[in-house]
Amino acid sequence: MINDFEYFAPKTLKEALALLDKYQDDCKVICGGQSLLVLMRQGLVAPPYMIDIKGIAELSYIKDDKDGLKIGATTTHRAIEKSPVVKKKYPVLAKMETRLASIQTRNWGTIGGNVCHGDPAGDPLPVLIALGATLTMTGSKGKRSMPAENFCLDYFETALEPGELLTEIALPVVPPNTGTAYTKFNVIESDLATVGVAVSVTLGAGDSCQDIRIALGASAPTPIRPKKAEAILKGKKITDALLAQAGETASTEADPISDIYASEEYRRELIKVLVPRLTREAMANAKKA
């Protein structure tokens, strides 16, 4: 049962920010509602005011320029999945979207809504972190940006300040000789990740690992980069032994929980397997780049 609330549907960013300033802690922002409405039906949240920003056309876009790709926060998952420029330049992002929930959800749900929900098992953030994405937040006092890996603070808690909206996701140009890969382990197709792993590898001379970014989802209270595991591989010629060591190290850097999907121990075992597997896949993609 959802409690009564007053509903606002601003058509411009300026109007939305004015409403946020007015209602502050008494409101919730909705941008698709695929997650928020579930929480409201469960009685976990009951905001007296709802601000629906999905109709703000100025925040729905995919722009390709010399600095990389810019994605507006109200852009739907399906638009990203089907975008020719995303498929060409950031194929891992388009591929990730094909496994995010159902087509019906992707048709309505938005990238900004998913990121701001702050679910550590969500699909987009590990990929965005591996790609080195930057998130821009806008409030009535101006804009600020931060790396995607710093955005989540705890379970369902983000760095958004009162009166702020996530407005843009910026992806840098993919460096030469770079490959990326993402997968998630789940029992039910298109369900949330039991564990998700995204990897970006830049190859150097002799196919050595010039740079690497690993991101883990559903492995801690927030998506994380296991930087000790990255350090094992960076600057070296990658071997099976090093990959196994990196997987083992990543599993110790994680802080998974036990729930109805998997135990803590099982999630650590998944990390041990998936980190080497996805690194190999990213390396293979780098060789094709």
Domain presence at residue 1: no
pLDDT score of 47: 93
Q: Is the dihedral of CA 277, 278, 283, 286 positive or negative?
A: positive
**Neighbour-count burial for 251-279, b at 16+ CB within 10 Å, e otherwise:** bebbebeeeebbeeeebbebbbebbbbbb
Average pLDDT, the chain: 96
pLDDT score of 285: 98
Domain presence at residue 195: yes
Sort strands 6-8 and 49-52 into parallel, antiparallel or unpaired: parallel
pLDDT digits (tens, 9 = 90+) for 253-263: 999 999 999 99
Number of independent structural domains in the chain:
3
Q: Would you say residue 188 has pLDDT above 90?
A: no
> Domain holding 223: CATH number?
3.30.390.50
Which of 172, 198, 217 is at the close of a domain? 172
Domain presence at residue 15: yes
> Domain holding 85: CATH number?
3.30.465.10
Residues 79 and 27 in one domain: no
> Alpha-carbon distance 242 to 246, whole Å?
6
pLDDT digits (tens, 9 = 90+) for 84-109: 999 999 999 999 999 999 999 999 99
Looking at residue 289, the DSSP 8-state letter turns out to be -
pLDDT digits (tens, 9 = 90+) for 8-34: 999 999 999 999 999 988 999 999 988
**Neighbour-count burial for 38-51, b at 16+ CB within 10 Å, e otherwise:** ebbeeeeeebebbb
Q: Which carries the bigger pLDDT value, residue 39 or residue 173?
A: 173
Q: Which carries the bigger pLDDT value, residue 128 or residue 188?
A: 128
* End-to-end CA separation in angstroms for the chain: 51
Domain presence at residue 237: yes
pLDDT score of 34: 83
Residues 36 and 74 in one domain: no
Which of 117, 151, 172 is at the close of a domain? 172
Q: Would you say residue 1 has pLDDT above 80?
A: no
The domain of 161 spans 57-172
Domain presence at residue 225: yes
- pLDDT-based confidence at 74, cuts 50/70/90? very high
Residue with tokens 């609330």: 5
